[in-house]
């Protein structure tokens, strides 16, 4: 397990690309995979966007045209209108995408930033106990490329596993991600099949006014300047002012929406540069959503309500296909099986998900989510079956809610008393699931940070 080098990687974040065949061989106990071109198979591109709330995409019914390019992908593919993240912040959700497991099974659950001790506390390692999608593909002839723009997904945290090349960009915006891709491009052109994972960070705070879109969404510079360029910690510090100003939540949304357009534009640039596009499956999703005072909170990682866990999920196969919208509740744990099916690879045993390309079943599966930022924090868990969602916070029976998402998509009406039989049934199913899936204790990747890294984390609101 690599324990050193985080500082170096953060400092060299501009466009550091790490050559990692030895990481696959030594770090994971797996044989090094060939980087040679393989004549058969399908290229796979997985695009993840940080903090992208499904309801703010035009393709998901939003009133603003925030995502014209992603809409065009959906127009030749499948849009899943009820996709859920497995948690509401980055490490557990992204580890679910990589492993196909729920957080309690892969063990990347906790995470605290402690400025006083100068450490990223308790973010657990994505350990080699479980297959990750990049390694699974690499072992089966794929050349694998990863681009991370979030400090929670570094080589030091284990998120580089299985990637032949991995760009560890710290917290970076879309141009840096596309630049890293451009630097990998000559090699990707020579690789068949290839797997590319690229993460875009921009919709995450601080919210920047992205032009030209912000000019349409909010031409009043004076109004958005109060909130732009500010970390969530600073914005939360203005909560009294925001609550007293009825225009404030909308201004935050204006900034956020302009960042979605900005990201969409950079994804267009990426996809237009992809080699062998006619033989490439593209999957787009997010790690979690964002709240704009629906529950009196701002940001994410505080609840399992829909605004924080409902994510976009678009699967665009190679070539032209007719657009489909699938309303069945699905989860980001389904991405691993989807990629396996597209690549023609066997599925590792024990995964809870199901391929999104295989929709014959049509039954209402149970979808789970969970949230805990520390061992001492109150746990939150949810189960969704069809349109019904049961949420508990602080352990069994402490705070429970039942929502009918079909009639109440914004979860305002708690039906726990009205429909107590259904609530009890879902609660029992959730308890059985929790008992059947004991918490896996992945080791923390506690890594002392230097002053510069602490300053960077603080500026982004990650340090208290």
Residues forming the site for Zn ion (CB under 5 A) = 50, 90, 287
Bond preceding residue 193 cis, omega within 30 of 0: yes
Cβ at position 458, least distance to Zn ion in Å: 18
Helix (H) or strand (E) holding 426: helix 420-436
Beta carbons of 356 and 336 less than 8 angstroms apart: no
- What is the number of helices (H) and of strands (E) in the chain? 16, 21
DSSP 90: H
Cβ at position 201, least distance to Zn ion in Å: 8
Q: What gap in Å lies between CA 397 and CA 392, rounded to an integer?
A: 7
Q: What gap in Å lies between CA 329 and CA 422, rounded to an integer?
A: 18
Beta carbons of 194 and 188 less than 8 angstroms apart: yes
Q: With respect to Zn ion, which residue has the nearer C-beta, 139 or 287?
A: 287
Q: With respect to Zn ion, which residue has the nearer C-beta, 50 or 71?
A: 50
Helix (H) or strand (E) holding 120: strand 119-121
Cβ at position 108, least distance to Zn ion in Å: 13
Cβ at position 144, least distance to Zn ion in Å: 22
Q: What gap in Å lies between CA 88 and CA 171, rounded to an integer?
A: 18
Q: With respect to Zn ion, which residue has the nearer C-beta, 390 or 462?
A: 462
Q: With respect to Zn ion, which residue has the nearer C-beta, 109 or 345?
A: 109
Q: With respect to Zn ion, which residue has the nearer C-beta, 94 or 367?
A: 94
Cβ at position 95, least distance to Zn ion in Å: 12
Cβ at position 211, least distance to Zn ion in Å: 24
Count Cβ atoms below 10 Å from residue 7 Cβ, excluding itself. 15
Q: What gap in Å lies between CA 370 and CA 381, rounded to an integer?
A: 4
Cβ burial, residue 11 (10 Å; 0-12/13-18/19+): middle
Cβ at position 289, least distance to Zn ion in Å: 10
Q: What gap in Å lies between CA 316 and CA 318, rounded to an integer?
A: 7
Q: With respect to Zn ion, which residue has the nearer C-beta, 50 or 168?
A: 50
Q: With respect to Zn ion, which residue has the nearer C-beta, 80 or 89?
A: 89
Strands of 3-66, DSSP E: 17-19, 43-49
Cβ at position 34, least distance to Zn ion in Å: 33
Q: How many residues does the chain have?
A: 464
Residue nearest to Zn ion (CB): 90
Q: What gap in Å lies between CA 177 and CA 240, rounded to an integer?
A: 36
Question: Which two three-digit tokens encode residue 296?
Answer: 């009196």
147: three-class secondary structure by DSSP: strand
Cβ at position 287, least distance to Zn ion in Å: 4
Q: What is the DSSP string of 438-463?
A: PPP-PPB--EE--HHHHHHHHHTT--
Contacts of 14 (CB under 8 A, 6+ apart): 169, 176
Q: With respect to Zn ion, which residue has the nearer C-beta, 50 or 202?
A: 50
Q: With respect to Zn ion, which residue has the nearer C-beta, 78 or 93?
A: 93
Q: With respect to Zn ion, which residue has the nearer C-beta, 202 or 411?
A: 202
Cβ at position 444, least distance to Zn ion in Å: 19
């Amino acid at each position: 397990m690599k324990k050193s080098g985080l500082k170096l990687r953060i400092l060299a974040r501009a466009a550091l690309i790490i050559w990692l065949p030895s990481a696959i061989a030594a770090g994971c106990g797996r044989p090094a995979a060939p980087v040679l071109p393989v004549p058969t198979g399908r290229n796979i591109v997985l695009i993840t966007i940080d903090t992208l709330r499904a309801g703010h995409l035009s393709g998901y019914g939003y009133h603003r045209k925030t995502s014209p390019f992603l809409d065009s992908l959906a127009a030749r593919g499948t849009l899943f209108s009820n996709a859920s993240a497995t948690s509401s912040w980055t490490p557990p959700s992204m580890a679910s995408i990589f492993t196909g497991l729920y957080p309690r099974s892969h063990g990347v659950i906790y995470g605290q930033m402690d400025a006083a001790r100068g450490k990223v506390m308790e973010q657990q390692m994505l350990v080699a106990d479980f297959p990750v999608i990049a390694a699974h593909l690499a072992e089966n002839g794929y050349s694998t490329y990863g681009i991370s723009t979030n400090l929670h997904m570094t080589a030091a945290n284990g998120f580089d596993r299985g990637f032949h090349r991995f760009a560890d960009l710290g917290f970076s915006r879309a141009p840096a991600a596309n630049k890293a891709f451009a630097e990998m491009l000559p090699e990707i052109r020579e690789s068949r099949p290839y797997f590319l994972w690229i993460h875009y960070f921009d919709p995450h705070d601080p919210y920047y006014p992205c032009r030209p879109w912000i000019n349409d969404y909010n031409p009043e510079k004076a109004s958005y300047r109060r909130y732009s360029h500010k970390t969530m910690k600073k914005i939360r510090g203005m909560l009294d002012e925001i609550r007293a100003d009825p225009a404030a939540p909308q201004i935050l949304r204006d900034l956020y929406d302009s960042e979605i357009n900005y990201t969409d534009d950079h994804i267009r640039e990426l996809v237009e540069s992809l080699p062998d596009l006619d033989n490439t499956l593209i999957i787009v999703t997010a790690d979690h959503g964002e709240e704009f005072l629906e529950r009196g909170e701002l940001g994410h990682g505080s609840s399992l309500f829909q605004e924080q866990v409902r994510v976009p999920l678009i699967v665009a196969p190679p070539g032209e296909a007719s657009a489909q919208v699938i309303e069945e509740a699905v989860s980001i744990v389904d991405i691993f099986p989807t990629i396996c099916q597209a690549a023609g690879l066997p599925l590792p045993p024990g995964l809870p998900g199901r391929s999104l390309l295989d929709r014959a079943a049509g039954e209402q599966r149970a979808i789970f989510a969970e949230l805990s930022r520390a061992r001492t924090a109150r746990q939150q868990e949810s189960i969704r079956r069809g349109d019904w969602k049961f949420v508990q916070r602080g352990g069994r029976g402490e705070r429970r809610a039942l929502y009918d998402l079909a009639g109440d998509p914004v979860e305002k009406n708690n039906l726990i008393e009205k429909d107590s039989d259904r609530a009890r049934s879902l609660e029992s199913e959730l308890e059985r699931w929790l008992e059947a899936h004991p918490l896996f204790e992945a080791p923390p990747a506690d890594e002392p940070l230097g002053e510069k890294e602490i300053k960077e984390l603080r500026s982004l609101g990650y340090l208290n």
